[in-house]
Amino acid sequence: MPSSKLSHLAETLIGSEIVKLGADIKEKMAQGNKIYNFTIGDFDSSIFPIPKQFENEIIDAYKSHNTTYPPADGIFELRNAVAEFIQKREGLSFANDEILIAAGGRPLIYAAYRAIVDKGEKVIYAVPSWNNNHYVHFTEGEHILIESKRENNFMPTAAEIEPYLKGASLLALCSPLNPTGTTFTEEELLAICDLVIAENEQRGGEEKKLYLLYDQIYWTLTYGKTQHYNPVSLRPKMKEYTIFIDGISKSFAATGVRVGWAMGPANLINKMKAINSHLGAWAPMAEQKATANYLVQTEAVDTYLIHFKAEIAERLQRIYEGFQQLKIAGFSVDAVAPQAAIYLTIQIDLIGKKNHDGKKLNNQKEVTEYLLNEAKLAIVPFSAFGASANSSWYRLSVGTCKKEEIDEMLAKLTESLTKLN
């Protein structure tokens, strides 16, 4: 028989753990089960539609027959609109040739990895985090992972990063962080920036620089007193070394519209453009035209964000308070107070407990299955984001959460926890 063996990459690439979990959930729902699905890092558009003005801009762009290839780096008007949007809201200044448009953040992250990382080079990233493990695998880099801690809200610290900087080509950070919904403090991000600057100043003129990939796709979605910080505002020198990943997908519940942008040094952006042009991962022309027109409508954007953020914050806060009540009642659960994004970090520590049939929960995989089967609660374990298999922490996403189901879900969870001893 002919060999079915494919490339080393294809044979060794791990599929999305979240997609696998989603298949289990869909199967149970097809069997008629009511599932409280908090797994997906997306939105239910019937609950969280995109802004009406933005929708109208998209419709008008198609009616105007904007259906041809866009330029490889994105249309000029959109790059200008992004520059204006970022300048006005973050105080960051980027020229037109320092901005690259693509079909969401993913191809931009991939292009950045491809442009920077050679085989065997060190890439530093914290876990849990979204997909860095897979991008390092794509580039055959050396995984340098830091398992972040609860006491730091699962954000990596300068002290944890410092020992690995020598010889590294990329430091990948995300704030607000997917999956935790937590953010860097100003003090900690300053310390990390100072380490990156010092490391680069030590390197010779011919030596590759250490770049910082800074994914801030959720930066507009912060709650309460939480403030978003970025490396370049804190340390202007970091502009030489930082690639921002950003876009509309989370800010405007527009995950399927597929418009993202990277911002960084012009020479690096130009190489990323070349890589992306071969992939063909361009944002559609009509969506680019619409985004260019919408981003500069300051009043419309502000009005949308005020309502959108309030709706997400209410869901996160109510579920957080529910978990705190369960903790006070003596159950082995916990939660980190919501800070940002659409995620709540929760802990459900049930290993060693026995269910009503006397069956012991021996590992976190069995805990996850118990929650799905008994509580009808679907959440994503941190192990799906590179953390250790025995981590008892989970990502809970509220992008598809109906407010009227929150108390119902908490009651069902309480019932399932009560069955254990």
Tens of pLDDT, residues 114-151? 999 999 999 999 999 999 999 999 999 999 999 999 99
Residues 329 and 288 in one domain: no
CATH code for the domain of 355: 3.90.1150.10
pLDDT for 3-27, tens place per residue? 678 998 888 887 777 777 777 788 8
Mean pLDDT, rounded, for 303-330: 98
Residues 77 and 156 in one domain: yes
Residues 58 and 194 in one domain: yes
What's the pLDDT at 122?
98
Q: How many structural domains is the chain composed of? A: 2
Separation CA 249–CA 159 (nearest Å): 32
Provide the whole-model pTM. 0.95
pLDDT above 90 as % of the chain: 89
Q: How confident is the model at residue 1 (pLDDT cuts 50, 70, 90)?
A: low
In this structure, is residue 221 part of a structural domain? yes
Mean pLDDT, rounded, for 221-225: 97
Residues 355 and 227 in one domain: no
What's the pLDDT at 5?
85
* Angle made by CA atoms 308, 397, 92, in degrees to the nearest 5: 55
pLDDT for 368-406, tens place per residue? 999 999 999 999 999 999 999 999 999 999 999 999 999
Residues 315 and 344 in one domain: yes
Beta partners for 171? 124, 212
Q: Which of 246, 270, 297 is the last residue of a domain?
A: 297
Residues 400 and 278 in one domain: no
CATH code for the domain of 270: 3.40.640.10
Q: How confident is the model at residue 358 (pLDDT cuts 50, 70, 90)?
A: confident
Residues 211 and 358 in one domain: no
Q: Which domain holds residue 26?
A: 8-48+302-418
| Average pLDDT taken over every residue of the chain | 95
In this structure, is residue 29 part of a structural domain? yes
pLDDT for 170-219, tens place per residue? 999 999 999 999 999 999 999 999 999 999 999 988 899 999 999 999 99
Read off the amino acid at residue 232: V
Residues 235 and 144 in one domain: yes
Q: Which of 280, 297, 314 is the last residue of a domain?
A: 297
In this structure, is residue 31 part of a structural domain? yes
pLDDT for 56-83, tens place per residue? 999 999 999 999 999 999 999 999 999 9
Those residues whose C-beta lies under 8 Å from the C-beta of residue 161, and which sit 6 or more positions away, are 124, 146, 171, 192, 195
In this structure, is residue 1 part of a structural domain? no
Closest CA to 176 of 316, 332, 325: 316
Q: Which of 276, 297, 318 is the last residue of a domain?
A: 297
State both tokens at 202: 């030590």
